[in-house]
Structure 1
Amino acid sequence: MKVKICGIMDIETGVAAARYGADAIGFVFADSKRKIREDKAKEIVAHLPKEVFKVGVFVNESMAEMERIASFVGLTHLQLHGDEPAASSETLSKPVIKAISFQGNDHLARFNSFPSEYILLDGPKGKYRGGNGLAFDWSEVNTALIYQKKLILAGGLTTDNVAEAIKTIRPYMVDVSSGVETDGVKDLVKIKAFIEKAKSMD
């Protein structure tokens, strides 16, 4: 099972997460308590293994700005967390992860044809578009509706529930942010435990 640790803000945490087995590291460039400066993200990326995905998280950002940041920082994937039109996704030079909140299967089915390799299925929207730590009922999701996509599961995942989530959804990857934090700060002990638990489900 692949694991993405999102909302990384310092070199030590990013390097440790990769060392523990994270397959993807997420950097938030949209409004969030985890928003990171471009130069800081670039510094972290320089310390990460080549094979680890470096994912930039954006909300309703212009194509030109996403491309500029991706080039400057060294991103490998672009995660679109807003209301970006399909046409814009088709023009981006990096693989796209389209993030959506689960709002029922009728809504989910509309994204099978969205021009992205990945669909990130997140919990309900809170103050921010993502990273709110809100789970949803995984048993309601009909994953067959997005059979063309690699499914990334996010939203309220923790070490305690990730095994059940993986068994229920069988995603390509699980994505965690607040679930590996203590008092709003990434916790290396929790990151290590989460990765070990998720990977034990292979």
Structure 2
Amino acid sequence: MRAKICKITDLFTALNAEDAGADFLGFVFDDKSDAYISPLRVEVIAQQIKAARLVGVFRDEDLKTVNHWANKIDSDYVQLDGNEDAEYARKVDRPVIKSFRYDDKFSVERAMVYPAEMIRLDFGGQLMLGFDRKKAIRDICAVNKSVILAGDVDPKKVKKLCLKLQPYAFDTPIGMNGAYGIKDFLRHLKGNVQDEVIRHYGYSMA
């Protein structure tokens, strides 16, 4: 199971996440976010990352600014978290991850036609409080793209969620890892889930 660790704000955390097995490292370039990190700092951090893919996270930013910093830090993906339309996304220089809030207004059709390589579904606190899993499974399958599941994920429950929803990857912010630590969280996500999927389905999701 692939893992995306987001809201990274320092080199130590980035290296720790990569060493623990994170596949994607997310850096928030929205200066209104409490997780904001200067692109200049990410440029330095990026030089130390060996294998994990870098994701620059933007929200309703000027397109020229997005492309400038995406190219400057050599990010693998640009994640769009705002109201960016399809025309905007087509002009992004890097492969796009588009975020959608998963609620009653979520549209499978819109996600399918949006020019993004991956779709990120933000469940917020629903993953902890409960939601219509059958509908979520239908929607994830219907999108017909790689889906990244985001939300408040308890490592003790991630195995069950993975088996039911089978996303391409899980996205979790640094803040959710406080009680377990990044390494413990990724051990739950990648190790336990992988073993259970192989036992359940007979194949790996790596």
Is TM-score (shorter-chain normalized) higher than 0.5?
A: yes
Question: Into which bin does the TM-score normalised by the smaller protein fall?
Answer: 0.7 to 0.9
Residues 33 and 159 of structure 1, relative CA distance in 2, 3 Å threshold: same
How far residue 109 of structure 1 moved from its aligned partner, in angstroms, is 3.1
SS in 2 for 1:43: helix
Of 146, 149, 169, the match for 1:150: 146
- Which of 157, 161, 166 in structure 2 is aligned with 1:161? 157
In 2, Cα distance between the equivalents of 1:106 and 1:89?
19
Local SS of the residue matching 2:161: helix
Aligned to 1:34: 35
CA contact (8 A) 1:138 1:169 kept: no
The one-letter code sitting in structure 2 at the alignment partner of 1:164 is K
- Does residue 137 of the first structure (1) align with residue 131 of the second (2)? yes
Q: Which has the higher helix share?
A: 2
Report the aligned-residue RMSD: 1.7
Aligned to 1:117: 117
Q: How does 1:69-108 map to 2 (within 5 A)?
A: 69-104=69-104, 107-108=107-108
Matched, 1:194 2:199: no
Q: Indicate the percent of aligned positions where both proteins have the same amino acid.
A: 28
For the pair shown, the structure with the greater C-alpha radius of gyration is: 2
5+ residue gaps in structure 1?
Answer: 125-132, 183-188
Does the Cα contact within 8 Å between 1:159 and 1:190 map onto a contact in 2?
no
Judged with a 3 Å threshold, the aligned counterparts in structure 2 of structure 1 residues 106 and 134 are, in CA distance, closer, same or farther, namely closer
In the alignment, which residue of structure 2 is the partner of 1:171?
167
Superposition deviation, residue 144 in structure 1: 2.0
**1:158, 1:176 within 8 Å by CA — same for their partners in 2?**
no
Secondary structure of 2:98's counterpart equals strand
Question: 1:153 aligns to what SS in structure 2?
Answer: strand
The TM-score normalised by the length of structure 1 is: 0.86
Structure 1 runs (4+) greater than 3 angstroms displaced: 133-136
